[in-house]
Chain A
């Protein structure tokens, strides 16, 4: 049995994924395929743990966010990972963390996919390790871009010919999957992404901007904790009622609608948690909200 690779990927590329390849048999692994052809069953990420919250009443399900220079990974850790969940809950945010985890995809409706990570291992690291990881991720992303360019040059892109150019088999398979699924992959966007990540490392030795950023994220919910007015909760509740079907409505869809209505993500999430605490809404399945 071959062990699944832990891919190095930026949050932005991961969150862009809209393709999940499900394993056929019971023990066959599933993969999230990113637009650059990373064929992800497992990831290794290092970034800033910005917030952790309980999303189940018994506190057995945690949602956390890990930020990198390009975006944010959503982490769900539950009762099936008791050690990791415990470890995660003990970390004071913000903190630099390294997480190995399994890719998860949630597809509330056809074509809409929300990806997250279920951690297998969590540990705190130092800033140097995080910076090193950004560089490693840049290199891996660059290799995917180059492999994608080569694949697109082939008259009929296929795994066999791509492998002959010396790229790892898994990557070749992912790239061919990606080419079939994603239309007009915008490579320049990902090249810019790498530049962005690298520029982030330039002001070394100075106070890193990430610290300010995470403090802000950290502060907002604590400030708002006491002052989420009933109005906002009511607005959020209306939005949920408006959107929900028999099976409820995906968390992210609510946040999106709230955003359109002028309620920012933190306020909206706060209101959702508060509504859950009051028992007005509940989470029938992971990432889905339903009124009681």
Chain B
């Protein structure tokens, strides 16, 4: 932070203290204000919105005395949570709780910091698009992010607040889609589209889903309305929001959003995005990515494995955890850790790819396996360990980090002489720039 920035911030703080008047010192100190403003700025909230939010937080009568939190600040296990946000979606769901049928509601809620899923355990008359003030909610961990829960002791009231950023349209490219964005506009090519019928609160509803792409990458989409999208078409989709499934961004939209068909020239090419591993790990997951790195570990569970014919689980000592002693089916896979010096991911390599890499088919490997289990694993180690490879596939996030399901694998080869010359030149440039 430069001293110039500091000066600027103090002038904003002055604005806020003026607006809050006699509340300064009683409800909040200037120091606290400054900390909060810094935090907003760190999250990339524009300064005007940040100021508005802070002034509203302390200046609004309804929220007086209650500490409102930003959704982004919430941790996965928190109680007594007070927030204000716009309801992006809400759907009823019938569940059975201790033998009794119960109607609950689930959906997504957004504020200026992010979007989170919520579950309401009773009917609060929450409507889509509405801004609500929620008092005394709690959070639970759900797929690595906090999920808001509105329970017996939670108060949910409609609010007249404006939540900046939740209605403004943000234009973005496919690789910029990330969980938590609301109201996005995107121009993308429909790579595939399918439909299925789902049960929403006892009613049958058609949902359309598939893959969209542009020159920056691919993502999934879900549409709750039939926009008659067809494979190969290019469309501008306005007003959708982004959630994620196992780290893969999913653009979701419905009849309230606008979908315009465009000329197919709008998207000239569809590319697979290359990531350095730290970027991918930070993002969590993505559809169809390309990464490079060294194989630094071959994990247990690699090699020839035997699966249960009924449930596909891997057998231990010829037994399935669920189905007991069964006549197993042989399979082959490699589970590796790929690391490029900036980040690390797990990669699962299926039978066909493993056969190709080892240049042996499963039958040949089975013979080796019958001689000794180690022989196949040694072969995998000798072939892959320490080698630099390029992997293409879908990257998913789970409790153990990011895992790529490999679709394609290639060895990375370079011309060492050429690369050495190129680097020597680069070093000379750095060296001269350093001297000056």
Contact = CB atoms under 8 A, between A and B. Distances in A.
Contacts of A149: 434
Contact of B427 (A1, A2, A191): A191
Contact of B416 (A7, A98, A128, A188): A128
Contacts, number: 109
Interface in A164-198: 168-171, 187-188, 191, 194-195, 198
A11 to B, nearest CB: 16
B420 A135 contact: yes
A170 B281 CA distance: 12
Interface residues of B, number: 40
Contact of B401 (A1, A160, A201): A1
A135 B413 CA distance: 12
Contact of A198 (B388, B400, B424): B424
Contacts of A2: 281, 401
B414 A195 contact: no
B385 interface: yes
Interface residues of A, number: 49
Contact of B1 (A3, A139, A140, A158): A158
B26 interface: no
Interface string A200-219: 01101000000000000000
Contact of A4 (B344, B388, B420): B344
Contacts of B423: 135, 138-139, 142, 194, 198
Given A131-B416, A187-B434, A201-B416, A123 B427 contact: no
Interface of B: 1-3, 42, 276, 278, 281-282, 294, 296-297, 337, 339, 341-344, 381-382, 385-388, 399-401, 414, 416-417, 419-420, 423-424, 426-428, 430-431, 434-435
21 contacts: A3-B344, A6-B294, A6-B344, A44-B339, A100-B297, A121-B297, A129-B386, A135-B414, A136-B341, A136-B388, A140-B341, A149-B434, A168-B278, A169-B278, A170-B342, A191-B430, A195-B428, A198-B420, A199-B424, A201-B420, A204-B420
Given A123-B381, A195-B427, A198-B427, 14 more contacts: A5-B343, A8-B341, A98-B385, A129-B387, A140-B341, A145-B430, A158-B1, A170-B342, A187-B434, A188-B434, A195-B428, A198-B420, A201-B420, A204-B420
